[in-house]
C-alpha cells in the first residue's frame, strides 16, 4: 500500500503532504514533518519541487523491497550487477568470468574448475568484457529463471541461475574470437544467440590479413539451452557461417517474427585497417558505403538443415557453411543506413527498429514485407558472397527523424519507442504509429544502451527507463581521471518523462541491462539438503554432516572432513606434514537465512564463501611449513572472531 502510494504520488499529493502537518511524521522521527519543516529542508538542501517528487518516487524505506530487479552487465569486471529499482540500490555482484573473493569464486575446487573451463585452449583468462545480459523467456516474457551474458573480448557465454544467483556454466566455440550480438534468447529460450564481431579465420587458424575477404569469416552461434538441466548443450548447438563483415547487435524475432533472428553489421567494405601500412584506418575504411546489411536469419529452418546433416564440424561446432545457408534460404540481407548499431524487435514482433550511429534516423522495417520479399525471391542484388539482398525501400515502413547518434531502442506498453541518442546525450520518446518524436529528455552524458522495464518482452511495462550513460563528467564527487559510468532512472509512466535518480557504476563499463518484475524471481535462501555443490546443484559426494567430521590420510593425500556452524569449524586443529596434498571438504550445515560462513587460510590463497547448506572442496599442497591460522571471514555471530582454528604444517 505504502509502496504504491509512493510510486504514483502526483505533484498535488506532494502539496497535500507538505500541508499535512504533525500527522505526517518523518520515519526517522527527526525534523521534517510539517509543511514548514519540509520547506526548510528543501531550502537548506536546495531542492526543487521536482526533486522532491523524484525523491518520493524512488525513496524506498528500510525493509521495503524494490518492485524491479535490474540485471546489468558489469563490463570489464566480468560480473553481473544486480540493482533494485526504483531505489537504484545495488544488491549484488554476481561473479561470472573473473575471480571474486567475497563469493569465494575461483578460490575453491568447484568454482575454480568452472572459471577455468572458460580458459580458451588453456590460456588463463581472468577478465571479460561483458556486454549483453539476457533473461530467460517463456512465450516471449521474462520468466525469472536464468540469465545469460556474453564476454565480447573472448567470445564466451555464461549461464547464471536466478535460483541462487550463481554462475553455472561457461561455454565458447573456437569458431569465434570475439562476439557482440550476444546474448539474445529466442522466445522460449530454445537457443541463446551469440553473434561474432570481428572476423577471423574460422576455427582459429592463421591467415594473412591481406586474405581478409577470402579467408576471414564471421558466424552466429545458436547455443541450445536445456531448461530442465539449466545448462547449454554444446553438442546440440550449431552455427551459421557469415561473410567477413563486422557483425554487430542482434535480436530474436517474437510472435509474428518467431523463428527468425536479426543481426546488424558494419564494415561491409571489408576494410581491415593498416594506417601505418598505407591503407586507410579501419574507422574510415569501414565507413565508405552508404548501406550496411541487416542479416535476416531463419533459425527454425536452420535447425532443420542441421538435422538433415547439411553441416560441417569446425572447431567442434556444427557449422552451416555460407553456400548452404544461401542455398537453403536461411540468410538474406537488407540494406541498413551507414554503420548501424542497435536492432530491436517491437513487442508485437512485426517490426524492427534499426538505428545508425552516423545517421539521424531510426529505420522501421516491416517483418511482413521482408517475409513477402523473401517468399517472392524479390532481390535487389547479391553481395560478393552471393547472399541475396532485399530491396531496402520495399522492406521498410518508414524512418523516424530522431536526432544525433541514435543507438538503441526500447518500448513501452502504449506504442511508443525510446531511442538513446549518444551524440545528443538524450533519450527520445517517439510514436511507432506515426514515427514522430514526442519528447526528448537530456541525460548525463553520452548514453549508450537504454533499458525499459520488461523492455525486451512482448509485454513491456511502460514504467521506467534507464539511461546507461558512458560519461559522467560533473555528476559526482571527483575520483581521479577514471570516472564511473552513470545509470539514470527515468519515469515514463506519465505524460512527461522525469529524471528520477542517478546511480554511479564503479566498475567497468556496462553495456546493456534488463529490468524484470521482482515477483518473477524465486530465489532460495539456503541450499537444501545440506551439502549442495552450487555449481552442479547436486549433493556433493564429499559433503559432511555433523558427527562425520574427521581427518584421514589416504593414497591421494590428507582428507579433512569439516563442518562449519556458528561459531566453530570441526575439526579446528588440522595437522599435516610439509608437502602433503590436502583435500578440505567443508560443509556449512546451517539452514538459517543469511548464516554464511567464510573460510580462509593465511598465506595459502584459500578463501571460501560457504552459504547455508553449501559444500566446498579445496585441494592444495601444504608446501610451506609453519603454523597457519584459519578463520571465518563473515561476521556471522557474536563469537565470530572465535570461529577459527590452526593448520599445523610440520616440517
Ligand atoms: S553495445 Cu555498448 S552501447 Cu556492446 Cu550493446 Cu551499444
Ligand atoms: Cu562464521 Cu564468522
Going by C-alpha positions, the residue among 139, 175, 137 that lies closest to residue 157 is 175
Question: Count of CB atoms within 10 A of residue 552's CB?
Answer: 10
Measured from the alpha carbon of residue 638, the closest ligand is: 2
Place of cell 593425500: 557
Give the distance (Å) from ligand 1 centre to CA of residue 622.
Answer: 46
Ligand 1 atom having least distance to the Cα of 152: 4
What is the rounded distance in angstroms from the CA atom of residue 200 to the CA atom of residue 205? 8
Res 32: pLDDT: 52
What is the rounded distance in angstroms from the CA atom of residue 336 to the CA atom of residue 390? 11
What is the rounded distance in angstroms from the CA atom of residue 230 to the CA atom of residue 127? 24
Ligand 1 atom having least distance to the Cα of 342: 6
**By 3-state DSSP, what share of the chain in percent is helix, strand and coil, each rounded to 5?**
15, 40, 45
Give the distance (Å) from ligand 2 centre to CA of residue 84.
Answer: 27
Measured from the alpha carbon of residue 75, the closest ligand is: 1
pTM of the complete model: 0.94
Measured from the alpha carbon of residue 610, the closest ligand is: 2
Res 5: pLDDT: 40
Ligand 2 atom having least distance to the Cα of 637: 2
Instruction: Name the CA radius of gyration of the chain, rounded.
Output: 27
Ligand 2 atom having least distance to the Cα of 567: 1
Could you tell me the three cell numbers for 116? Answer: 577455468
User: Best substitution site from 407, 446, 456 to test ligand 1's pocket, by max atoms within 8 Å of Cβ?
Assistant: 407
The CATH 2.60.40.420 domain(s) of the chain lie at 539-650
Ligand 2 atom having least distance to the Cα of 634: 2
Give the distance (Å) from ligand 1 centre to CA of residue 246.
Answer: 14
Give the distance (Å) from ligand 2 centre to CA of residue 637.
Answer: 6
CA angle 146, 78, 477 (to 5 degrees): 115
Measured from the alpha carbon of residue 599, the closest ligand is: 2
Measured from the alpha carbon of residue 343, the closest ligand is: 1
Give the distance (Å) from ligand 2 centre to CA of residue 535.
Answer: 22
Give the distance (Å) from ligand 2 centre to CA of residue 634.
Answer: 5
Could you tell me the three cell numbers for 123? Answer: 590460456
Ligand 1 atom having least distance to the Cα of 422: 3
Ligand 1 atom having least distance to the Cα of 511: 2
Enclosing H/E stretch for 159 = strand 156-161
585 within ligand 1 shell (Cβ under 6 A): no
Residues in contact with ligand 2 (CB, 6 Å cut-off): 597, 632, 634-636, 640, 643
Res 2: pLDDT: 39
Q: Whose CA is nearest to atom 1 of ligand 2?
A: 597
Measured from the alpha carbon of residue 341, the closest ligand is: 1
Give the distance (Å) from ligand 2 centre to CA of residue 639.
Answer: 8
What is the rounded distance in angstroms from the CA atom of residue 499 to the CA atom of residue 513? 18
Query: Exposed/middle/buried for 328, CB within 10 Å: 0-12, 13-18, 19+?
Result: middle
Give the distance (Å) from ligand 2 centre to CA of residue 328.
Answer: 61
Res 26: pLDDT: 43
- Rounded mean pLDDT of the chain? 94
Measured from the alpha carbon of residue 569, the closest ligand is: 2
357 within ligand 1 shell (Cβ under 6 A): no
Distant-in-sequence, close-in-space partners of 116: CB < 8 Å, separation ≥ 6: 124
Give the distance (Å) from ligand 2 centre to CA of residue 167.
Answer: 24
Parts of the chain with a pLDDT under 70: 1-33
Give the distance (Å) from ligand 2 centre to CA of residue 113.
Answer: 25
Give the distance (Å) from ligand 1 centre to CA of residue 490.
Answer: 20
Ligand 1 atom having least distance to the Cα of 132: 5
Res 35: pLDDT: 85
Q: Whose CA is nearest to atom 3 of ligand 1?
A: 448
Q: Report the SS3 class of residue 525.
A: coil
- Give, in order, the Cα–Cα distances in Å from 232 to each of 148, 150, 191, 318: 10, 13, 9, 15
Give the distance (Å) from ligand 1 centre to CA of residue 341.
Answer: 8
Could you tell me the three cell numbers for 448? Answer: 549508450
Chain segment 513-541, per-residue pLDDT in tens: 999 999 999 999 999 999 999 999 999 99
Res 4: pLDDT: 40
449 within ligand 1 shell (Cβ under 6 A): yes
The listed CATH number (3.40.50.20, 2.60.40.420, 3.40.50.10330, 2.60.120.260) that belongs to domain 539-650:
2.60.40.420
Give the distance (Å) from ligand 1 centre to CA of residue 321.
Answer: 28
341 within ligand 1 shell (Cβ under 6 A): yes
What is the rounded distance in angstroms from the CA atom of residue 358 to the CA atom of residue 154? 27
Res 359: pLDDT: 86
Amino acid at each position: 500500500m505504502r509502496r504504491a502510494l509512493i510510486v504514483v504520488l502526483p505533484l498535488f499529493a506532494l502539496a497535500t503532504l507538505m500541508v499535512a502537518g504533525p500527522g505526517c511524521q518523518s520515519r526517522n522521527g527527526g525534523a521534517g514533518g510539517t509543511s514548514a519543516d519540509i520547506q526548510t529542508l528543501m531550502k537548506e538542501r536546495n531542492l526543487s519541487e521536482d526533486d522532491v517528487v523524484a525523491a518520493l518516487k524512488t525513496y524506498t524505506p528500510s525493509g521495503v523491497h524494490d518492485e524491479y530487479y535490474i540485471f546489468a552487465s558489469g563490463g570489464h569486471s566480468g560480473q553481473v550487477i544486480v540493482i533494485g529499482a526504483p531505489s537504484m540500490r545495488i544488491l549484488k555482484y554476481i561473479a561470472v568470468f573473473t575471480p571474486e573473493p567475497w563469493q569465494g569464486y575461483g578460490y575453491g575446487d568447484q568454482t575454480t574448475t568452472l572459471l577455468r573451463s572458460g580458459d580458451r585452449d588453456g590460456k588463463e583468462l581472468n577478465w571479460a568484457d561483458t556486454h549483453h545480459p539476457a533473461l530467460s523467456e517463456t512465450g516471449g516474457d521474462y520468466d525469472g529463471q536464468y540469465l545469460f551474458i556474453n564476454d565480447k573480448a573472448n567470445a564466451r557465454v555464461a549461464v547464471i541461475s536466478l535460483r541462487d544467483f550463481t554462475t553455472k556454466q561457461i561455454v565458447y566455440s573456437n569458431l569465434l574470437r570475439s562476439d557482440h550480438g550476444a546474448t539474445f534468447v529466442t522466445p522460449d529460450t530454445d537457443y541463446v544467440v551469440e553473434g561474432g564481431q570481428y572476423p577471423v579465420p574460422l576455427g582459429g587458424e592463421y591467415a594473412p590479413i591481406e586474405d581478409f575477404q577470402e579467408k576471414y569469416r564471421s558466424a552466429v552461434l545458436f547455443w541450445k539451452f536445456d531448461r530442465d538441466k539449466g545448462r547449454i548443450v554444446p553438442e546440440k548447438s550449431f552455427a551459421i557461417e557469415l561473410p567477413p563483415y563486422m557483425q554487430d547487435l542482434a535480436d530474436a524475432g517474437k510472435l509474428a517474427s518467431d523463428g527468425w533472428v536479426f543481426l546488424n553489421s558494419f564494415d561491409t567494405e571489408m576494410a581491415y585497417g593498416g594506417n601505418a601500412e598505407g591503407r586507410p584506418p579501419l574507422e574510415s575504411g569501414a565507413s565508405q558505403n552508404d548501406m550496411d546489411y541487416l542479416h535476416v536469419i531463419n533459425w527454425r529452418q536452420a535447425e532443420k538443415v542441421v538435422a538433415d546433416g547439411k553441416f560441417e564440424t569446425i572447431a567442434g561446432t556444427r557449422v552451416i557453411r555460407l553456400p548452404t545457408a544461401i542455398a537453403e534460404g536461411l540468410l538474406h540481407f537488407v540494406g541498413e543506413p551507414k554503420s548501424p548499431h542497435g536492432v530491436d524487435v517491437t513487442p508485437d514482433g512485426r517490426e524492427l527498429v534499426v538505428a545508425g550511429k552516423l545517421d539521424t534516423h531510426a529505420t522501421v522495417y516491416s517483418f511482413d514485407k521482408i517475409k513477402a520479399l523473401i517468399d517472392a525471391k524479390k532481390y535487389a542484388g547479391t553481395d560478393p558472397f552471393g547472399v541475396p539482398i532485399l530491396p531496402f525501400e520495399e522492406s521498410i515502413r518508414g524512418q523516424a527523424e530522431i536526432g544525433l547518434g541514435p543507438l538503441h531502442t526500447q518500448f513501452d506498453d502504449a506504442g511508443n519507442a525510446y531511442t538513446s541518442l549518444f551524440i545528443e546525450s538524450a533519450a527520445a520518446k517517439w510514436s511507432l504509429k506515426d514515427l514522430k518524436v514526442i519528447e526528448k529528455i537530456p541525460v548525463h552524458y553520452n548514453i549508450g544502451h537504454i533499458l525499459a522495464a520488461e523492455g525486451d518482452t512482448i509485454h513491456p511495462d511502460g514504467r521506467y527507463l534507464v539511461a546507461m550513460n558512458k560519461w559522467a563528467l560533473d555528476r559526482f564527487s571527483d575520483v581521479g581521471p577514471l570516472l564511473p559510468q552513470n545509470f539514470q532512472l527515468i519515469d515514463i509512466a506519465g505524460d512527461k518523462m522525469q529524471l528520477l535518480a542517478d546511480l554511479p557504476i564503479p566498475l567497468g563499463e556496462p553495456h546493456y541491462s534488463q529490468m524484470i518484475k521482482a515477483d518473477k524471481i524465486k530465489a532460495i535462501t539456503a541450499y537444501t539438503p545440506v551439502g549442495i555443490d552450487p555449481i552442479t546443484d547436486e549433493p556433493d559426494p564429499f559433503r559432511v554432516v555433523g558427527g562425520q567430521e574427521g581427518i584421514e590420510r589416504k593414497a591421494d593425500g590428507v582428507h579433512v572432513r569439516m563442518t562449519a556452524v556458528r561459531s566453530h569449524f570441526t575439526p579446528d586443529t588440522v595437522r599435516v606434514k610439509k608437502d602433503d596434498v590436502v583435500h578440505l571438504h567443508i560443509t556449512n550445515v546451517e539452514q538459517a537465512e543469511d548464516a554464511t560462513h567464510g573460510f580462509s587460510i593465511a598465506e595459502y590463497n584459500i578463501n571460501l564463501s560457504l552459504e547455508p547448506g553449501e559444500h566446498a572442496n579445496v585441494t592444495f599442497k601444504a608446501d610451506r611449513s609453519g603454523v597457519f591460522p584459519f578463520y571465518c571471514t563473515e561476521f556471522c555471530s557474536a563469537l565470530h572472531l572465535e570461529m577459527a582454528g590452526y593448520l599445523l604444517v610440520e616440517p
